[in-house]
Chain A
């Protein structure tokens, strides 16, 4: 059971938009920055979003992040087949004094 809650899967047609929710609590998301990671099949995770809504260099603006209270959201617009991957939210939990992740969301492009 992950500390952060994500939907197991989302899907949409190419060119469409998907959003992935990440639900936490006052000890984690509400108090710390949220990051989002993309994991393509057979590869290591890669940072997509940091500090709730910042994109590292090289990440297209089709990817966006937002946060409100104890929840965060990743948005992907203009969906491409290359976006098929698992996406994880992550943050720090002040009560656990540890990093925490969501269970991951598999994105499928129909």
Chain B
């Protein structure tokens, strides 16, 4: 069974940092682009970042460029999102989602999400 399990969310002060992790199982992890998508409370979906199969092509939303870093460890079937200089606008549920063999394809499986709250 395919699974994506996010972890690492929590409460952090403005200006702080946090590292999210996503553990994948049930599929050949290194064959797929993996995405981070977030959803602020009561709001819609926002694409945050994506990384291709071998980590050579990386994409970021303008809202997080220079502050967030996506990475993956194919030997461990893990995806990461290092977040720094966090602001209240970054408060959201963060989902990792499995894409296609290329990052411009749809997201066919989503994790349950991890909540990040930025507040003083």
Which A residues have a C-beta under 8 Å from some C-beta of B?
2, 32-35, 37, 44-47, 50-51, 56, 86, 88, 90-92, 94, 96-104
Q: Which of B59, B105, B108 contacts A56 (CB 8 A)?
A: B108
Contacts of B35 in A (CB 8 A): 99
Please indicate which of the listed interface residues A46, A47, A103 has the most CB atoms of chain B within 10 Å of its own CB.
A47
Residue ID in chain B nearest A52 by CB atoms: B106
- Enumerate B2-43 residues with CB–CB distance to A below 8 Å: 35, 37
User: Do residues B44 and A47 form an inter-chain contact, with CB atoms below 8 A?
Assistant: no
Contacts of A99 in B (CB 8 A): 35, 37, 47, 50, 59, 103, 107
Contacts of A98 in B (CB 8 A): 47, 50, 59-61
Contacts of A56 in B (CB 8 A): 108
Given contacts A37-B45, A47-B110, A99-B50, 5 further A-B contacts (CB under 8 A): A32-B104, A35-B107, A44-B111, A45-B107, A98-B47
User: Do residues B46 and A101 form an inter-chain contact, with CB atoms below 8 A?
Assistant: yes
Which B residues have a C-beta under 8 Å from some C-beta of A?
35, 37, 44-47, 50, 59-62, 95, 97, 103-113
Q: Which of B37, B44, B95, B105 contacts A104 (CB 8 A)?
A: B44
Contacts of B61 in A (CB 8 A): 98
Min CB–CB distance B61 → chain A (angstroms):
6
Give CA–CA (A46, B106) in the complex, Å.
11
User: Do residues B106 and A90 form an inter-chain contact, with CB atoms below 8 A?
Assistant: yes
Min CB–CB distance A14 → chain B (angstroms):
26
Q: Which of A34, A44, A97, A102 contacts B110 (CB 8 A)?
A: A44
Q: Which of B47, B50, B59 contacts A101 (CB 8 A)?
A: B47
Contacts of A91 in B (CB 8 A): 106
Min CB–CB distance B111 → chain A (angstroms):
7
User: Do residues A90 and B107 form an inter-chain contact, with CB atoms below 8 A?
Assistant: yes
Contacts of A45 in B (CB 8 A): 37, 45, 95, 97, 107, 110
